[in-house]
Amino acid sequence: MIEILTPAELDRARATGALVADILDTLRQRAEVGTNLLELDGWAREMIEAAGAVSCYVDYAPAFGRGPFGHYICTSVNDAVLHGLPHDYAIADGDLVTLDLAVSLDGIAADSAISFVVGEAAPESNALIRATREALAAGIAAAGPGTRIGDLAHAIGSVLEGAGYSVNLEFGGHGIGSTMHQDPHVPNTGRAGRGYRLRPGLLLALEPWVMTDTAELVTDDDGWTLRSATGCRTAHSEHTIAITEDGAEILTLPARLRG
Ligand code: MG
């Protein structure tokens, strides 16, 4: 199902997006060498509950996971890239941390992910993060009324592949609205000019992610965390955007970047 939001629903989506972005920004600032992933999860829970929002993750139990997830945020470190299950681990100097958060507020969900390095960053980590950020920016720049999903996929994939990375097609972006995951699927590479034509009121979560030297994932023993098959580092950048009459609006910008 593809949902088109009313202007009133879009206002609620803006509030959800701001909340998601501000929680991620706060966690990023609190994450230091020695911070435990379970502390990050606890702080996420506190902020979600204080806002009167509902976690999209805690009861999430899709076919591919050993569900329910039971936590409030995905914490993926170094070779972990998607669905990182928070566990008893203290962040070390140079760790590449990815936080992915989706919540629902007043019945509308928003989803965002950030990757960053705690402490001294290796050039490999910076390159991974830069590629996903630039791919996300290219996908957003390509989005607008009349644009097709294939145009977004092509824009995202051109940046990732141009930076020398192979793109995994199992997990990508998605529609979002009254629930976290909806149609249309947005692959992280593809051919321009194909697929669903975007309309004002559509919400999309765009989420380029890459791994240094592989496109293959393996599932951790925890039943959730997806890691690079070679043990290489990974990064992920995600925003929820709304298609508007004249382009796209990013809903998950933190307060310091909002107008
Ligand atoms: Mg997502």
C-beta separation of 139 from 152 below 8 A: yes
User: What is the domain-level CATH number for residue 104?
Assistant: 3.90.230.10
212 CA from centroid of ligand 1 (Å)? 21
32 CA from centroid of ligand 1 (Å)? 25
176 CA from centroid of ligand 1 (Å)? 8
Percent of the chain whose predicted confidence (pLDDT) is above 70: 100
Q: Which residue is associated with the tokens 């009861």?
A: 59
Residue 31 lies in a domain: yes
60 CA from centroid of ligand 1 (Å)? 13
13 CA from centroid of ligand 1 (Å)? 15
173 CA from centroid of ligand 1 (Å)? 6
Residue 259 confidence (pLDDT) above 90: no
Residue 1 confidence (pLDDT) above 90: no
Residue 135 lies in a domain: yes
C-beta separation of 149 from 186 below 8 A: yes
Binning pLDDT at 50, 70 and 90, where does residue 205 land?
Answer: very high
238 CA from centroid of ligand 1 (Å)? 7
Integer angstrom CA distances of residue 6 from 177, 192, 235:
11, 28, 34
Residue 1 lies in a domain: no
Binning pLDDT at 50, 70 and 90, where does residue 241 land?
Answer: very high
C-beta separation of 116 from 77 below 8 A: no
Binning pLDDT at 50, 70 and 90, where does residue 64 land?
Answer: confident
DSSP state of 148: B
Range of the domain at 182: 7-253
pLDDT in tens, 151-162: 999 999 999 999
pLDDT in tens, 106-128: 999 999 999 999 999 999 999 99
pLDDT at residue number 33: 98
Residue 83 lies in a domain: yes
89 CA from centroid of ligand 1 (Å)? 24
Residue 142 lies in a domain: yes
| Averaged pLDDT for residues 32-48 | 98
102 CA from centroid of ligand 1 (Å)? 7
Residue 258 lies in a domain: no
67 CA from centroid of ligand 1 (Å)? 17
Cα 49–chain centre separation: 21
Binning pLDDT at 50, 70 and 90, where does residue 67 land?
Answer: confident
82 CA from centroid of ligand 1 (Å)? 10
230 CA from centroid of ligand 1 (Å)? 24
Q: What sign for the dihedral angle of Cα 64, 62, 60, 101?
A: positive
110 CA from centroid of ligand 1 (Å)? 8
250 by DSSP, 3-state: which? strand
Binning pLDDT at 50, 70 and 90, where does residue 169 land?
Answer: very high
Whether cis (ω within 30° of 0) applies to the bond prior to 123 is no
258 by DSSP, 3-state: which? coil
Whether cis (ω within 30° of 0) applies to the bond prior to 68 is yes
Residue 259 lies in a domain: no
Residue 40 lies in a domain: yes
Residue 65 confidence (pLDDT) above 90: no
Distance CA 65, CA 195 (A): 28
| E runs forming strands in the chain | 54-55, 74-77, 80-82, 96-105, 108-117, 173-175, 182-186, 203-206, 209-211, 217-219, 226-228, 234-236, 239-244, 247-250
100 CA from centroid of ligand 1 (Å)? 8
| E runs forming strands in 106-181 | 108-117, 173-175
C-beta separation of 237 from 114 below 8 A: yes
Total tally of structural domains belonging to the chain: 1
